[in-house]
Amino acid sequence: MILPAQEIRRRCASSAPMIWPFVERDIVRGMSFGLSAASYDVRIAENVTIDPGEFVLASTMERFCIPNDVLIVAHDKSSWARRGLAVQNTIFDPGWRGYATLELTNHGRSSLSILAGDPIAQVVCHLLTEPTTQPYGFNGMGKYQDQEAGPQPARDDGGSR
């Protein structure tokens, strides 16, 4: 099941907000961000210019604290996708905390300049049938747990996630 707006709002108003800062809905440079009917549009934390065929990492302005009964998937934001920008479909596991690093690729023919604060991706929150018994970080497996702001490169630590 996908969480509707009212459930995302409720989970973001808790003492451990699922997404912070939470914005009901707003617009910047003609693009919406914040809560949608059944998703949440996140913003980029830094300025980036992506040339055609180029791949870059970028961070979200929002921090996540995902409950053990929710899995979040990042998807393209259609306003950027129509210009050739792909956001790799990153999964944020139940139990994960931190600022999300997004993987961005420009498949278009022109360079794309994205400013800090611009809406960049849409995240969809999926409800598990029950809380997982193996949340992110379980048994020390969670090399990206409590990820800090700013894009984080891949980490190799002997095979843990």
Residues labelled as active-site residues: 103
Q: State the Cα–Cα distance between residues 137 and 85, nearest whole angstrom.
A: 31
Q: Residue with structure tokens 């009901």?
A: 24
Q: State the Cα–Cα distance between residues 73 and 71, nearest whole angstrom.
A: 7
β-bridge mates for residue 80, sequence order: none
Q: State the Cα–Cα distance between residues 149 and 145, nearest whole angstrom.
A: 12
Residues in the chain, overall count:
161
The helix/strand/coil state of 8 is helix
Q: Residue with structure tokens 């809380």?
A: 131
**CB 43, CB 35: distance < 8 Å:** no
